[in-house]
Amino acid sequence: MDMHRKKRIEIILEAPAMNRLSTALEAAGVTGYTVLPVLAGKGKTGAWTRDGLVGGAGAMVCVICITDPARVDAVLERIMAVLSRQIGLVTIGDVDVVRGERF
SS3 83: helix
- Residues 73-99: tens digit of each pLDDT: 999 999 999 999 888 899 999 999 998
pTM of the entire structure?
0.87
With the CA atoms of 94, 91, 75 and 71 taken in that order, what torsion angle do they form, in degrees rounded to the nearest 10?
-10
Can you give 90-103 as a three-state secondary structure string?
EEEEEEEECCHHHC
- Residues 17-41: tens digit of each pLDDT: 999 999 999 999 999 999 999 988 8
Q: Which CATH number fits domain 4-97: 3.40.50.20, 3.40.50.1370, 3.30.70.120, 3.90.1640.30?
A: 3.30.70.120
pLDDT confidence bin for 4, thresholds 50/70/90: very high
Q: What is the pLDDT of residue 43?
A: 81
